[in-house]
Each structure stands twice: as C-alpha cells, then as structure tokens.
Structure 1
C-alpha cells in the first residue's frame, strides 16, 4: 500500500485534529517503519522535517492568532525530552508560535499499573510551566500519533476546556490494535531501522 501525505482534518471526540497521514497499522508498512525510526533518540532534526511537511500540506488552512503549542503528556517516568517535544517544538518554530512544554500526570502509586489513558483521566494533568492555565488562550496539542483521542480529551480538560483547542499530529491511527503492525515494529527494532 502506498503512503500519501495530505492535509487531513477531522473531529475526534469533538476536538479538531489535523494530521499529515492516515495510518492503518499492518496496511501502511512504510509509515510503520517511519514511525519506528522517528521514535529513536536524537531525532529532533527529522521531526522538524516532518513539521515542515505538515506546514506545507496544511498551508492556508491553519488557524491564525496567538496559539500556544504544548506536547502530549509523556508516560515516561523521566521528565526529559521525547519525540512529542521535538514534534511540538518543530511545529511551534515553523509557525512562529510559543512552545509551552508538556503536561504530566500527577504521580500516584495505586494507579501506576493502569494504562496511559486511564492514568491521565484519573489523575488529571499538571502543567509544568510558570504561567497559570488560562482557558481563553488558544492551544495546540502536538502528538506524534493520535488513536482514540483520550489523551487529548484529558489535556483539554486539564486546560479547563479552552474555547480554541486543536490536536496536530503526524498521523491519525485508524485502528487501535493490529498484530501485524506490532510484529513489524518489533522486527524493525531488531534490525535497527534508521532514518
């Protein structure tokens, strides 16, 4: 199956989602390899390249104004940079927007074995910047892959349901789970795919 870049805009759980690809794991093997390669360390330059492609394909259709970009919450225990940060910074830089960083789930031992989406919903989210949450601001949540929209909904609620909120992602995943895709990603890890 071929992979085609395009400006995709849709509503997921009532929120506007803009993506560059529609990803069907197991069907779009080229895209599966790309996503695997982008997950590696030191990929900021590659993420910036894809942010530029996103900007080119969505040119003329993006909202105007003083939007602020934050990256999707991380499930990692270390609060260091990850691929969502690189994607968010690339998007913010290309559009002349302010990059706010990310949100993190509040720590809690009794919920640590829940999946990421349930942790985010049950604990709420904490914004780790000096500025207080202002629901009148316009927000863009940058995420590499959007599947169900549960994390985006948690961020939306943590920001007190701002009037203007969008999700900008590299790919909108059309299926929640696919054994063929998981096998391909594991195979890619073994072969050490690089960009």
Structure 2
C-alpha cells in the first residue's frame, strides 16, 4: 500500500517532496505524511492485533529515512518499530533494473527475538519510503519467515523509467 503513485519526470512536485524527505532531519514532515497514510489505511479497517513495523534496513545501519517513516507510522497507528532486518549484500537498488532488484537479500538480525514472540499474532508491516518492484518487501517477508499477517506500507510506489 502506498500513499502516492510516483512517476519521476511527470510529477515534479511529488519528486521535489520525496527527495526533500531524504536525510535525517525531517521528522515533522514524515509525521505529516504518516498521519495521512494512517487515515487512509484506517478507513479500510486496521486489524485488532499488535502492529509491528519493520523499517527497510539502511545502508549504514543507522536511522535513515525508512526508519523515520516507520517511526512516524508507528506513532500514527499505535504500533511498535523493530529494526530486526539487515541487508546481506551492499548492492544499491537506486538505478537498478528489475533483474538486479530481485537479487536483494535480507536476513533476520540474530539479536532480535520479536519475530519468534509475535510471529503469528502480529500484523507485520514492512515500511519503506519508496517501493518500486517490491523485491525488498518480498525479501523482508521471507526473512521474517513469511508471517501470516504482512503488509508493505510506503510513501510512494515508484514506476521504473526507460521501459523497465
């Protein structure tokens, strides 16, 4: 589920907004968009269960824009953020075609016990600012052990350009 469909080059205002959110000092902006997202998601009915929001792991293992999105979503829906995934490879998704994007592999952080404690009861939400092909979300789903209640929440669903 994404708040926006984003086609860079044709939606310039959205492009400026999304690229402006990158970085570590935009908490208020993330909160605004998360509240809008949560309102839309709640209209569909949130399940009556614990919501665990797992941000896309950052390249430098820090609290980047995906973490800020996850944190803002957790505040908006009363969920919990757990950084329990890590990237196996350091391959970048930006600029990659579909073939290269499917090669992303995530794994569960060995220090995390939250998955075994709430695997079947919780709604597991993979939070990423931009979803393009869904390969990272699929890798998260698999790394979490394919939980029965899983969703991906993104600010934008981005189209690939150049015919990919």
TM range (shorter): 0.7 to 0.9
TM-score in terms of structure 1 length: 0.70
Note if 1:38 corresponds to 2:38.
Answer: no
| 1:103–1:128 CA contact under 8 A, matched in 2 | no
The partner residue of 1:160 within 137, 145, 149 is 145
- The answer to whether the 8 Å contact 1:44/1:83 transfers is no
8 Å contact kept, 2:23–2:64: no
Match of 1:101 in 2: 83
**What RMSD, in angstroms, separates the aligned Cα atoms of the two structures?**
2.2
**CA distance 1:41–1:66, change in 2 (3 Å):** closer
CA contact (8 A) 1:145 1:169 kept: yes
Work out the CA distance in 1 between the residues paired with 2:68 and 2:161: 25
The superposition leaves residues 108-166 of structure 1 with CA deviations (integer Å, 9 ceiling, x where unpaired) of xxx65x44445633xx4133653153331320011101000000000000011111100
Unaligned runs of 5+ in 2: 94-100
The answer on whether the counterparts of 1:85 and 1:102 sit within 8 Å (CA) in structure 2 is: no
TM-score by length of 2: 0.82
| Structure 2 equivalent of residue 145 of structure 1 | 130
Matched, 1:71 2:25: no
Kindly name which structure, 1 or 2, has the bigger radius of gyration based on alpha carbons. Answer: 1
Aligned length: 152
- For structure 1, the residue ranges without an aligned partner over 5 or more in a row are 1-17, 179-195
